[in-house]
Amino acid sequence: MKADQYVVIGNPVAHSKSPAIHARFAELTSQQLDYQRLLAPLDGFGATVRDFVAKGGKGANVTLPFKLEAFALATELSERAKIAGAVNTLKFEPGRIYGDNTDGMGLVADIVRNAGVNLRGKRLLLLGAGGAARGALLPLLQEQPAALTIANRTLAKAQDLLQQANSLSDRCELQTCRFEDLQQPFDVIINATSASINDDVPPLAATVFSKETLAYDMMYAAAPTAFLRLAVSHGAQCRDGLGMLVEQAAEAFALWRSVRPPSGQVLAEMRAALLASQA
Ligand code: NDP
């Protein structure tokens, strides 16, 4: 029997580690599936998905720049996808395209389960107000932090996100500000800006870090990002987004296959491979 077909759709998509992650999940859970990269033309996301579904495709991960189009294409949405306004996971069933967003859940799983940092009652700082920050909002608030500050270069976007957060939680103390206005230390600082892509970092005062702070960069690379280097120089503990990537994949895999893969083991393997690639 032909294995069930899954893809990661993006443009570009050649860099995606999702095929390696899902192949390993399938191996470790004895699931028969085939997972490939699928490059969609920038103006052809919908047609690419329909073609894949017509060929019997069962599910897809969606990466840049198509997460908003995937949101629009889905015929049913999870609550967290509705709040994120973006979809990174599609499940195809006869007459139905289910859209989910597992990015924020992946972030929280990596912080709470893998790093062992409980977010309940903590003071959180979220840097950035783009797609990744929006996806993280509900899963972060569900952990019941005491306070969440959203800081962004464009303040209006942080304020929009704050409005959404206000409708999701009446227990968490919520505020927005510019990077330059931050002074107080935070328990957890999550960098959801894309500054790291250019080895840049938002202008943060040294006082936002302490040695108890967990500094988390959603981006990952073999070498620490500029944000993580800054955090370490002020004594904070650091973690990059590789675990988030593996955990969001695990959540998608569980949605498709109703089996939870051993994400901790796969994360350890991915980390070793990433370090070896730089050796
Ligand atoms: P978006 O383009 O949607 O948002 C980018 C955000 O970064 C905006 O808030 C923008 O501010 C801010 N920003 C960009 N450049 C700078 C800068 N130089 N200084 C300060 N702020 C800046 O991107 P995403 O939300 O999709 O992605 C954000 C990051 O998260 C990326 O690094 C991405 O790789 C990572 N990510 C990781 C995942 C994982 O699984 N590990 C999953 C998803 C994302 P402004 O509003 O002012 O433009």
Distances (CA, A) of 189 to 13, 125, 185, 186, 207: 29, 5, 9, 6, 12
Please tell me the pTM assigned to this model.
0.95
Ligand 1 pocket test: which of 67, 71, 111, 194 has the largest number of ligand atoms within 8 Å of its C-beta? Answer: 194
pLDDT, tens digit (0-9, with 9 covering 90-100), for 96-144: 999 999 999 999 999 999 999 999 999 999 999 998 999 999 999 999 9
Q: How far apart are CA 7 and CA 273, in angstroms?
A: 22
**Secondary structure element (H or E) that encloses residue 274, with its range:** helix 263-278
Q: For all residues of the chain together, what is the average pLDDT?
A: 96
In the chain, % of residues over pLDDT 70: 100
Residues in the ligand 1 pocket, defined by CB under 6 Å? 103, 106, 128-133, 152-154, 157, 192-197, 200, 202, 218-220, 241, 244-245, 248
For residue 20, which phi and psi values (nearest 5 degrees)? Answer: -65, -40
pLDDT at 278 over 80: no
| Ligand 1 atom closest to Cα of residue 67 | 26
Show the domains of the chain with their CATH numbers. Answer: 4-101 (3.40.50.10860), 104-242 (3.40.50.720)
Q: Is the pLDDT of residue 46 over 90?
A: yes
Contacts of 62 (CB under 8 A, 6+ apart): 8, 9, 10, 69, 70, 87, 88, 89, 90
Segment 234-244 mean pLDDT = 97
Long-range contacts of 64-72 (CB under 8 A, 24+ apart): 64/10, 64/11, 65/10, 65/11, 66/9, 66/10, 66/11, 66/40, 67/101, 67/131, 68/131, 69/45, 70/45, 70/99, 71/99
